Amino acid sequence: MTTDALTPRSPEETRLTMTQFMQPEHSNSLGNVHGGVILKLCDECGGIIASRHARRPAVTVTVDSVNFIQPVLLGRLLLVHGILTWVGNTSIEVELEVEAEHLLTGERVTTNRAYFVYVALDESRRPVRVPRLLLDSDDARRRFAEGEARQQRRLAAAGRGR
């Protein structure tokens, strides 16, 4: 199905879960997975979501509100869940939640939450307009309002408030 590049899309259209099994090369000397490994997986998941929404390449602009709730141990399956929360003219915010699953028990624990912001690029690598977010549920409207507030705080902190 082909759609116009600026046709609004719902958060559900680009929702994604990525998984990766945590091996020794992902760990530090304590047997915990490096935070950088987790952030890289979050950035990959978020970048895919942003590019799917924009139907263009998207690059990371900022990483906002990263919370490391508890460590991820070796031998766990890492699940990175991502969903669009807010869209501006060229910017896209993605909420990411990370879970670690113990494969032998099935127990899952939330280990991280973060918001990543991306900008879509045109062929000249300049920011380009992105589709609006279709707010088709109360949850999507709530997430959008919260994302708008975060974006206003980011702009104010950068001295670029509207």
Determine, yes or no, domain membership for 113. yes
Examine residue 22 and state whether it is found in any structural domain, yes or no: yes
- At 26, the pLDDT band (50, 70, 90 cuts) reads very high
Taking alpha carbons only, the member of 58, 91, 65, 113 closest to residue 160 is: 91
Q: Cα(4)–Cα(21) distance, rounded to whole angstroms?
A: 37
Q: Is residue 3 part of a domain?
A: no
- Segments forming the whole domain that contains residue 25: 11-156
CA dist., res. 97 & res. 45, Å (int): 10
At 1 the pLDDT is: 41
The answer to whether residue 83 is domain-embedded is: yes
How many Å apart are CA 143 and CA 86, to the nearest integer? 7
The percent of residues in the chain predicted with pLDDT above 90, rounded, is 88
How does pLDDT run across 1-22, given as a tens digit for each residue? 445 678 999 999 999 999 999 9
pLDDT at 23 over 60: yes
Interatomic CA distance for residues 121 and 112, integer angstroms = 28
Task: Give domain status of residue 112, yes or no.
Answer: yes
Domain count of the fold of the chain? 1
Show Cβ contacts of residue 160 under 8 Å, excluding neighbours closer than 6 positions: none
**What percent of the chain lies above the pLDDT cut of 70?**
96
pLDDT at 161 (0 to 100): 57
* pLDDT tier, 145 (very low <50, low <70, confident <90, very high otherwise): very high
Report d(CA 61, CA 91) in Å as an integer: 8
* Average pLDDT of the chain, as a whole number: 94
User: pLDDT tens digits for 28-73?
Assistant: 988 899 999 999 999 999 999 999 999 999 999 999 889 999 999 9
Cα–Cα dist 75/158, whole Å: 40
Residue 136 domain flag: yes
Q: For residue 72, is it within any domain?
A: yes
CA 159 centroid distance within chain: 24
The CATH number covering residue 141 comes to 3.10.129.10
Residue 111: inside a domain, yes or no?
A: yes
